[in-house]
Structure formats: structure tokens, C-alpha cells
Structure 1
Amino acid sequence: MGQKVYINKLRNPNTLDLTDKIGKIGIVRGLRLTESNNIALIVEFDSQVRIWFFEDELKIIK
């Protein structure tokens, strides 16, 4: 938790609300278990908006 991440890609790029997040940086604030038992990371952006992403959609910033 607290790790900075870069939104690298989206599994479903047809989601209009999320496409503007590609290339943005956020902070991991939590985990979520999806209906299909996959783990997603909850990312918070500067605007205080929190959205969950799958791990392969993110790139960790060191």
C-alpha cells in the first residue's frame, strides 16, 4: 500500500471513464477481490477518485 503506480494499459479500453487514466500516476490504497476471484488494486488519483485496476494494467514507479 502507498506505492506509486503508472496506468500502463486497460484490459477493456472501451470504458470511456477509464481511458483518460492511461498515462496517469496514482497511489495504491487497497486491494479488491473481483467476482472471478482475481485480485485488483485500488488506485487513488490526485482528484481523490479511487478506481480499481488489475495488476497487469499498472507499472510500479520506483
Structure 2
Amino acid sequence: MLRHALFQCLYPAYLTSNHRNCRADALSLVMAADAVSPAQLVVPVSEEGRRTFRLQQLAAG
């Protein structure tokens, strides 16, 4: 979505991934942050008792 918006504004479409930068997935970042410091995020628990990282449930918490 960001790449598309940059393209529409006539900015370089790959502006976020130059100079050795890379794109990151938000789910991976949230899971890594939870692994490093679990007390900092409120991660909901599913009915099965497992922690769930679904965006809808993370945003509601």
C-alpha cells in the first residue's frame, strides 16, 4: 500500500527499501517483541489456551 501511494505521488516506489534497508513484516516484529519482553504487549489467548497474534484481536486489546 505504501509503495502504491509513493508511486501515485511520483516518488520512487522503492523508497523504503534502498541504502540496504529492507521491508519488515509487522507480524514478525510483534512476535519478536513479545518473545523478548512478553510483559510489554497484551497478547490475547484463544479458546484453546494458545496466544493469538491476529491483527483484529491485537488491535482490540
TM-score bracket, normalised by the shorter chain, equals: under 0.3
Q: Which is helix-richer, 1 or 2?
A: 2
Q: Which is strand-richer, 1 or 2?
A: 1
Instruction: Provide the TM-score with structure 2 as the length reference.
Output: 0.25
Instruction: Provide the TM-score with structure 1 as the length reference.
Output: 0.25
